[in-house]
Amino acid sequence: MSQTRQTPVEAGAIFEPYALKNGRGPALVITPSVLSSDFAHSARELAKCRRARARWVHIDVMDGHFVPNLTFGPPVLRKWTAAEPELFYDTHLMIENPLKFAEDFVRAGSSLLNIHIEATARPRRDLRAIKRLGVRAGVTLKPKTPVREILDVLDEVDLVLVMSVEPGFGNQELIAKTLNKVRELNLIRRERGLGFRLEIDGGINPETVALAAAAGADVMVAGSAVFRGGDVAGNMKTLRGVLSKAGYQTK
């Protein structure tokens, strides 16, 4: 495999906008959350994801202020993208003042930057600034934030992330009522003909992944459900199998 890092635009070619074809949306994406991986062997863990046919990986960036936890910054991401340059790095910025660090994360290899609506006073301006850096732009809702808070920017985003747990820590149970927001957003994009992908993060596992898909999510972030026991390939196969049995195509 080539060790030449793709440019953000090239990596973005992996991203397929939402569109109905023969009454169906695009193939579902399962994106392993690196937060649940073995940090002592990060390059090996990312390679496991690639070999398990994961095209995306989810990077949870936390600053200890916006959420009560600290994770990693651009220098760490730069090492990961160098090790596995062909993956799509779906970067979730759970941080205050996300634009302050946006360019650093793009230079480190992010393919998409996802900012919280709760962390910006001017979301349209910030989303446009991210796009000018040459990557995809997304917006995130915490579990208690209503969909109406992002209605004005849905025409601007490539992806909407619905948090189905309180952000900050992994291995939490899905908050069932957050699926109502997924349903609402799925209806809105169909009615308006919008192309944003609809991502869900928190408590996604073999018992919940089909429920999320039925609600309208088409990008599934899975952490412990993918990395549990070190069997990334087997765990990904299980998740894909559940979705296939429910009638969904995965990528």
Which candidate in 38, 60, 63, 231 is catalytic?
A: 60
Q: Are 138 and 157 in contact (CB under 8 A)?
A: yes
Q: Are 115 and 140 in contact (CB under 8 A)?
A: yes
Active site residue 201: yes
Say how far apart CA 50 and CA 57 lie, in whole Å.
Answer: 9
Say how far apart CA 73 and CA 93 lie, in whole Å.
Answer: 10
Per-residue buried b or exposed e for 41-54, using 16+ beta carbons within 10 Å of the residue's own CB:
ebeebbbbbbebeb
Here the tokens at position 211 are 């429920």
Which candidate in 63, 90, 126, 201 is catalytic?
A: 201
Beta-bridge mates of residue 21: 24
Candidates 60, 83, 114, 74; CA nearest to 5 is 83
Active site residue 158: no
Instruction: Report the catalytic residues.
Output: 60, 201
